[in-house]
Structure 1
Amino acid sequence: MRPLRRTTAALAIGAAALVALTACTQKGQSDQGGAAGAAPGDDKITVAFVPKLQGVPYFEAMNAGGQAAAEALGNVEWRYQGPTQADAAAQADIVRSFIQQKVDTLIVAPNDPDSMAPLLQQAKDAGIHVATADTDAPSSVREVFVNQATAQGIGEALTDSLLTAMGGTGKYAIVSCGQTAENLNSWIEVQKAYTAQKYPQAEIVDVVYAGEDQAKATQMATDLMNAHPDLTGLVGECTSSAPGVAQAVQDAGRVGEVFTVGLGTPQSMKPYLDAKSSSAAILWDVENLGYLTAWAGAQIAEGKPFAPTNEVSPDLTAVEYDAGGKTLLLGPPLAITDANVGQFNY
């Protein structure tokens, strides 16, 4: 709980005031320890973001962007907490905690969209604005999805990047992460259809799931190369499997024979891009995604509608909003290679 305002009268009735404040927790305040919203007379909006996994470079970069937005906006308190493993049940516990804290806006990147949907309904019923970011829960009551790029754009960019390195032909496999992650699965569906349509001489031979475990992704990629000796491509579908598959190629001594691309953060991929065990990381500016997430949370808390095109910050001057899908789009995906990887510090 925040310190009470210091007045002579408060010193005389401090104990009674403390009891009264505890019993009358308002929206934007909390009866739990620590700062939990706007102090009496303060008009700060509490925006809480629950990532799939805390402590990995990708979501820490989103957190940095959210913090930057809160500082720039001035009226936002940004909160960030996620599970230490990519576990839907652990993520749900954190969501319940933020509901109890009565934050103004709750934004989630759900590990399991279906199991998260009832919790978002619970938050809405408690008077909390709800949204998703990075990955969606499309059948939920979320008011907006902050999307990093379209599924079509990401899937096509991954496919084009890998098949260019493979010469437009050959067999490749995908090492994904969470088996229920809506965003990853939507990208994979695009890759399957786009490969069949544009690269008829190429074939996806398998899709496997390593969770958010880089070492497991490396082992799975190694197993795939052993099971398919003629394999010439691997895709790491998330920020832990992208370096994982590149590491497997290096360990096998097959750089230049098996090509890899993936959704890796720049600094985690730099050694592999430099070593040519990865051709490219297909991503976006993750800090800008965090900034947009915090800004969107403030907008819906204040009841401000999104325009078809939104000027969010000096770096985000034309963020498009699709009213039909209730989706804010950060922009097109970005190909990170050994030529531009040094421009990113996360």
Structure 2
Amino acid sequence: MRSTVSRGMAVFTAVLLVGAVALTGCSKKNAGTGAGGGKKITVAFVPKLQGIPYFEAMNTGGKKAAAALGVNWIYKGATTADPGAQTDIVKSLIQQKVDVLVVAPNDPDSLAPVLQDAKNAGIHVMTSDTDAPNSIREVFVNQATAEGIGMSLTDNLVKAMGGKGEYAIVSCGQTAANLNSWIAVQKSYGAQKYPNVKLDGIVYAGEDQAKSVTMAKQLMAAHPTLTGLVGECTASAPGVAQAVRESGKIGKVFTVGLGTPQSMKPFLQDGSSSSAILWDVENLGYLTVWAAKQVADKKSFAATNNVSGALPAVKYFADKKMLLLGDPLVITKANADKYNY
């Protein structure tokens, strides 16, 4: 009797063990699959630097898209806008064998050979926010055209300055392709449309707000007749406004810049900044992940793409291999609270 019971218990235990193994196997198998049941791709985004509101907002949008599309999302950047540090991170992601590598390069030309290494390793390569046009990238996710941004910066600054006067630009990375393309437009467009406005100089503060404040103050001291300042990136836009505030020159020196809504809000409210030019940064992050999945799935882009409810008509320019988020957004004290970054 005992022998029969023991044999029965042994069989029962064996069945349970087989079932447990089967369930574990299913669990492991499902962990690596995407929404459609296929392999879950991994998309890695390397920003110019990590920790500033702009790229953190891109990360938020990227996470939303990854959850919606069934994608593994890696967001990894250096804490300084250093091309060498960025290159090291890109190399580490190549070693991880991610499926799609997306970069906002600090120095596009120096990064190009490393992006070639990624392609040679079988990794799809893209750029977003900032292009590396001389690299092998498959698509560039562009926030807005250089013309749109450069013209908006110029028009809004000159309006605040009363149509005449002198201004200077505090830019960030000296080799940043997107910033330099905007500045080129500001120079040509400003000279053509506003003959009574003079550009006195351009300085480069890196992605460092404190350095931007110092440089803006130095510009105002060196050019006493200066009545305008442009902050060319999301670190220098609040920086030039802060410099005007601390120098007691609100209403005498006017500023505009590429600033995130919440970082610019206090400066817009007290008038040290007239307006900020940007775009929906979270949507840029979302579009980046969507584009990466299209590339990984070897799907071509249409001339107009329905990406999501918030992005129903994203244009693709095949000759430039570029997706365009849309027109620039003018941020003022009236609409800054519509955006939580």
TM-score normalised by L of structure 1 = 0.89
Q: Which amino acid in 1 is paired with 2:309?
A: P
Hey, what does 1:72 align to over in structure 2? 68
Match of residue 57 from structure 1: 53
Distance 1:55 1:316 in 2: 26
What are the within-5 Å matches in structure 2 for residues 1-346 of structure 1? 38=32, 43-74=39-70, 76-346=71-341
Matched-pair contact (CA < 8 Å) for 1:171–1:203: yes
1:168 positional shift: 1.1
Identity of aligned residues (%): 69
CA contact (8 A) 1:261 1:280 kept: yes
> What is the deviation of 1:8?
6.2
**Structure 1 residues 212-241: Cα deviation after superposition (integer angstroms, max 9, x where no partner):** 110000000000000000000000000000
CA offset digits 1:248-283 (Å, max 9, x no partner): 000110000000000000000000000000000100
**Going by fraction, where is helix more abundant, 1 or 2?**
2
- Cα-to-partner distance string for 1:69-88 (whole Å, 9 max, x where unaligned): 011112x1111000010000
- 1:308 is displaced (CA, Å) by 0.2
Once residues 9 and 90 of structure 1 are traced to their aligned partners in structure 2, the CA distance between those partners, rounded to angstroms, is 49
In 2, Cα distance between the equivalents of 1:38 and 1:61? Answer: 27
Taking a change above 3 Å as real, the CA distance of residues 142 and 10 of structure 1, as seen in their structure-2 partners, is farther
**Residues 34-92 of structure 1, C-alpha deviation per residue, up to 9 Å, x if partnerless?**
xxx94798611111000000000000000000000011112x11110000100000000
Is contact 1:38–1:46 with CA below 8 Å preserved after alignment? no
Question: Which digits, 9 at most, give the CA deviation of each residue in 1:74-112, with x for residues without a partner?
Answer: 2x1111000010000000011001101111100000000
Name the CA distance, whole Å, in 2 between partners of 1:79 and 1:189.
33
Checking the alignment, whether the CA contact within 8 Å between 1:169 and 1:202 is kept in structure 2 is yes
- Asked if structure 2 preserves the Cα contact closer than 8 Å seen for 1:266 and 1:336, the reply is yes
Does the CA-based 8 Å contact 1:161-1:280 persist in structure 2? yes
Secondary structure at 1:208's aligned position in 2? strand
Inter-partner Cα distance in structure 2 for 1:129 and 1:116 = 15
Structure 1: runs of 5 or more not aligned: 1-6, 12-36
- The ranges of structure 1 where at least 4 consecutive aligned residues each deviate by more than 6 angstroms after the TM superposition are 7-11
CA distance in 2 between counterparts of 1:203 and 1:275 reads 26
Q: After superposition, give the CA deviation of every residue in 1:146-187 in whole Å (9 maximum; x if it has no partner).
A: 000000000000000000000111000000000000000000
TM-score by length of 2: 0.90
Q: In structure 1, how many angstroms separate the alpha carbons of the residues matched to 2:32 and 2:109?
A: 32
| TM-align CA RMSD | 1.9
CA distance in 2, matches of 1:84, 1:288: 23
Q: Secondary structure at the match of 1:96?
A: helix
Does the 8 Å contact 1:176/1:184 carry over to 2?
yes
In structure 2, runs of 5+ residues without a counterpart are: 1-16, 22-30
Paired residue secondary structure (1:93): helix
One-letter code aligned to 2:66: A
Q: Which has the larger radius of gyration?
A: 2
Contact kept, 8 Å, 1:104 with 1:128, in 2: the verdict is yes
Measured against aligned partners, the alpha-carbon deviations of 1:291-336 in whole angstroms (never above 9, x if no partner) come to 0000001100000000000000000000000000000000000000
Partner of 2:4: none
